[in-house]
Amino acid sequence: MARPVVGISGNAYFLDDQYPVQACGVYNLDAVSEVCDATVIVVPCLPHLNPIEDLMDVCDGFVFTGARPNVHPEEYGEQPTEAHGVFDRDRDAVTLPLIRACVDRGQPVLGICRGFQEFNVAFGGTLHPEIRELPGRMNHRMPPDGTLEEKFALRHEVSINKGSPFARIFAAERVLTNTLHGQGIKAAANRVVIDGRADDGTPEAISIKGAPGFALAVQWHPEYNASKDPVSRALFGAFGVACAVWRTGKGMQRTS
C-alpha cells in the first residue's frame, strides 16, 4: 500500500510584500516525509477553497504547524490587544473545526506551537498573550540573534506525566526541547490533558481526553532536526504509524 498522506497547514505570507501566498516551512515537510514515511501535501488555510470533509477524505492525518500569526482572541471569548500580536482569521476558520472533526473521527492529528494552542482553543480553552510577563515564567521566545542552529537549540527540559501518551512515546519522564513561543495555555479546555510542563510550569505537551485516535500536541518545535533528535524522531515516528494504520483502515473500507 502507498505511504499515508499527511496534510500540513499552510500559512499566509506576502511574496515581495504584495503577492499573497500560502506556504509551509521545509523543516515540517522533511520531518513528515522522512520520519513519518508519508506523502506530504500543504493544505491552504483558506476556508473558501476546500470543505473540511474533503480535506479529511484526501489526507490520512494532519500536522498543525507553528506560525507567526496567533489565534485571534475572539475565538476564546477575549478582545484583541497589542500584546496578542498579528492574526490569521482564515487559518482559524480552517484549523479549529478541522481539529475538532479529526478528533471526533479518530483521524490522527499532531499540533506544533501555534497548532498546540489551536488544540486548546478548538475545545474551549484560553491563551495568555505573553507568558514571559507572568511571574516566575522564563522567556520562551526565539532568541532574537544567532544562527538557526542557535535559535532552535535545546534550551529547557519538559517533565512528562507517568502513564501519559508522551511517556510511552518518549520512554522517558524528562525530555530536552527547544522553545520559540510567546503565547501559551491560560486555561486548559475541559478535554485538554496537560501531559508535560516546563520547569516554570508552562504547559508543553497535551493530549485530548477521550480521543479515539492520535491527538497530541507540543508547544516546542520538533520539526527542527527531526530525523536526528531522539525526542522529535519518536514523536513523528509515532504519528506516522498512526497515519499508516488509518490509511490501512481506509483501504479495508474501500475493498469491503
Measured between alpha carbons, how far is 12 from 47 in angstroms, rounded to an integer? Answer: 12
CB count in 10 Å sphere of residue 52: 14
Q: Is 223 a catalytic residue?
A: yes
Q: Are 61 and 242 in contact (CB under 8 A)?
A: yes
According to DSSP, the residues that pair with 8 across neighbouring strands are: 42, 63
Catalytic residue among 75, 128, 221, 243: 221
Measured between alpha carbons, how far is 5 from 8 in angstroms, rounded to an integer? Answer: 10
What is the DSSP track for 121-139? HHTT--EES-GGGSTT---
**Could you tell me whether strands 192-198 and 203-208 are parallel, antiparallel, or unpaired per DSSP bridges?**
antiparallel
Q: What is the DSSP letter of 166?
A: H
Which grid coordinates are listed for 48? 473558501
**Could you tell me whether strands 127-128 and 184-185 are parallel, antiparallel, or unpaired per DSSP bridges?**
antiparallel
Backbone angles phi, psi at 100, to 5 degrees: -60, -45
Exposure of 201 by Cβ count < 10 A (0-12 exposed, 13-18 middle, 19+ buried)? middle
Catalytic residue among 118, 130, 204, 223: 223
Catalytic residue among 75, 113, 118, 181: 113
Q: Return the residue matching grid coordinates 476546500.
A: 50
H or E stretch at 247: helix 230-255
Q: What are the catalytic residues?
A: 113, 221, 223
